[in-house]
């Protein structure tokens, strides 16, 4: 669920950020056990929001060495560059997806909600995320560059004066969607993968009947239109054959009491937009567009809804696969979806929830158990 529930960075000006998009996003854990038989080269460098050399020597994490040929069917993203919007800590789905893509060989760029930028970059520099940066081979994920981003605003003209003067935005510039896309183009020329892992519903704890127009529209703006805007501005710099993914939640199609403030509506819009964007981006730029509907996971962001632990317990008891859902499982699915292995998959909502979405009856219901 995004700030309103979900794992990435939440984007509503002058409000505490809640990361990650998708329903109860977040996660615990180390990402990706992508089954590649290859070996990975260590890339411990971290570069924050400062200009980088266009050559970027030494930044790419290599998924497979040339010493031995690949066996089986590995996910190989070597030579690909990914921009992941909505990473503000090492706890959510955005981080998990970044690790999975890095483990497969992709170069990682991230967009971080402006008020969370300093803390995130400082934690990276001081090694606070080193343990969670570890890839399957023991090397560290390399975050090539961190960009300030507030996806609620498309261009500088959209930013109200109270936000421009807000001290939480002081010291940062070029953080609207249009400006970030232009900066990435200037720094790197192009990208191959775009990930939307952010959402926010300022009134998520309110029932829909008590949600204000302002709160409802804020949820739609931050959680669904932000994806339209990102793809709109990044599509011109995406290489043909690339892919984009977002994170959604089952509340888009089922009633989840407590997941309010218009967030269920925002997720429904996100899934509908995924289908339309798949057609438009596919015809215009040969880009695939999919969304991942993940089950409930415990994270800082998901705690905003107030009952995440109960949802995790409900899922464990009632899902076909009675096991804990981990962030790396979402990360691995994302790596597959943006890889050549999924070259014919677009416009889809892919469920990563231990099968909970298939259930029409709660097996732990008192009516059933009695």
98-to-12, 15, 111, 153, 165 alpha-carbon distances in Å: 23, 25, 11, 24, 32
Given 153, 259, 316, 351, which residue is catalytic? 259
Token pair of 360 as six digits? 């029409």
How many residues would you count in the chain?
A: 370
Given 249, 314, 316, 351, which residue is catalytic? 249
| Residue 63: partners with Cβ closer than 8 Å, 6 or more residues away | 36, 38, 40, 74, 75, 76, 77, 78, 103, 104, 105
CA distance 87 to 15: 17
| Cβ-contact 303, 311 below 8 angstroms | no
Q: Which DSSP helix (H) or strand (E) runs through 289?
A: strand 288-294
CA distance 4 to 23: 8
Q: Which DSSP helix (H) or strand (E) runs through 204?
A: none
CA distance 286 to 278: 9
Active site residue 249: yes
Catalytic residue numbers, as ranges: 249, 259
């Amino acid at each position: 669920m995004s700030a309103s529930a979900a794992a990435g960075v939440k984007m509503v000006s002058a409000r505490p950020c809640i990361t990650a998009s998708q329903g109860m996003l977040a996660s615990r854990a180390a990402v990706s056990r992508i089954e590649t038989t290859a070996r990975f080269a260590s890339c411990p460098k971290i570069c924050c929001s400062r200009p980088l050399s266009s050559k970027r020597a030494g930044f790419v994490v290599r998924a497979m060495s040339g010493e031995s040929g690949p066996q089986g069917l590995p996910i190989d993203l070597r030579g690909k560059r990914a921009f992941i919007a909505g990473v503000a800590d090492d706890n959510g789905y955005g981080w998990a997806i970044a690790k999975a893509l890095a483990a497969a060989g992709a170069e990682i760029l991230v967009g971080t909600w402006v008020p969370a930028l300093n803390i995130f970059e400082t934690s990276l520099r001081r090694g606070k995320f080193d343990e969670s940066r570890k890839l399957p081979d023991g090397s560290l994920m390399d975050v090539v560059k961190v960009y300030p981003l507030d996806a609620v605003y498309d261009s500088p003209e959209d930013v109200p004066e109270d936000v421009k003067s807000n001290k939480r935005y002081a010291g940062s510039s070029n953080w609207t969607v249009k400006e970030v896309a232009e900066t990435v183009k200037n720094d790197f020329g192009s990208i191959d993968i775009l990930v939307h892992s952010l959402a926010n519903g300022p009134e998520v704890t309110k029932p829909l009947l008590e949600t204000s127009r302002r709160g409802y529209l804020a949820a739609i703006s931050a959680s669904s239109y932000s994806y339209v805007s990102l793809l709109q501005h990044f599509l011109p710099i995406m290489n043909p054959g690339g892919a984009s993914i977002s994170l959604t939640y089952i509340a888009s199609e089922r009633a989840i009491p407590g997941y309010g403030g218009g967030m269920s509506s925002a997720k429904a819009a996100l899934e509908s937009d995924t289908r339309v964007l798949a057609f438009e981006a596919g015809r215009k730029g040969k880009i695939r567009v999919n969304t991942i509907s993940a089950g409930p996971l415990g994270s800082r962001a998901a705690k905003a809804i107030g009952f995440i632990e109960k949802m995790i317990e409900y899922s464990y008891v009632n899902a076909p696969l009675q096991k804990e859902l981990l962030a790396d499982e979402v990360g691995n699915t994302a790596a597959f979806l943006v890889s050549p292995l999924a070259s014919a998959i677009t416009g889809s909502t892919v469920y990563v929830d231990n099968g909970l979405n298939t259930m029409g009856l709660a097996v732990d219901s008192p009516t059933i158990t009695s």
